[in-house]
Amino acid sequence: DTGVSQDPRHKITKRGQNVTFRCDPISEHNRLYWYRQTLGQGPEFLTYFQNEAQLEKSRLLSDRFSAERPKGSFSTLEIQRTEQGDSAMYLCASSSSAVYSGNTIYFGEGSWLTVV
């Protein structure tokens, strides 16, 4: 297992188009998170899954954003009708609730989105 993987790593899209990012967590991890990071800022929490259930969504996640984790394994984050303000790096992370580890969260390398 090589850790959290994200695809694509980079995406350039025209304003108004839809984009989808995929995240494959560490295989034994049942928790999966999406964060957004803009230049010069720390990551901001977007949403969180435990298994297939989406348990929390940030107010940052507008109705143009939807995240799924249909079988409790990989997750997708879709952005509809992209806007220039959506340009950011979208980070996926995972953790396990089975082993008490102080909620250590492991991050992927991120998916860079540029909206032109």
Partner 1 sequence: AQTVTQSQPEMSVQEAETVTLSCTYDTSESDYYLFWYKQPPSRQMILVIRQEAYKQQNATENRFSVNFQKAAKSFSLKISDSQLGDAAMYFCAYDQGGSEKLVFGKGTKLTVNP
Q: Which residues bind partner 1 (CB under 8 A)?
A: 3-4, 31, 33, 35, 40-45, 48, 50, 55-56, 58, 91, 102-110
Residue among 31, 54, 33 at smallest CA distance from 45: 33
For residues 71-108, b (16+ Cβ closer than 10 Å) or e, as one string? eeebbebebeebeeebbbbbbbbbbbeeeeeeeebebb
Least CB distance from residue 32 to partner 1, whole Å?
10
Choice between 46 and 79, CB closer to partner 1: 46
Least CB distance from residue 11 to partner 1, whole Å?
15
Residues whose CB falls within 8 Å of the CB of residue 68, separated by 6 or more in sequence, listed in order? 54, 75, 76, 78
Residue among 112, 101, 103, 113 at smallest CA distance from 33: 103
Least CB distance from residue 17 to partner 1, whole Å?
25
Least CB distance from residue 45 to partner 1, whole Å?
4
Choice between 8 and 16, CB closer to partner 1: 8
Choice between 54 and 80, CB closer to partner 1: 54
Choice between 55 and 98, CB closer to partner 1: 55
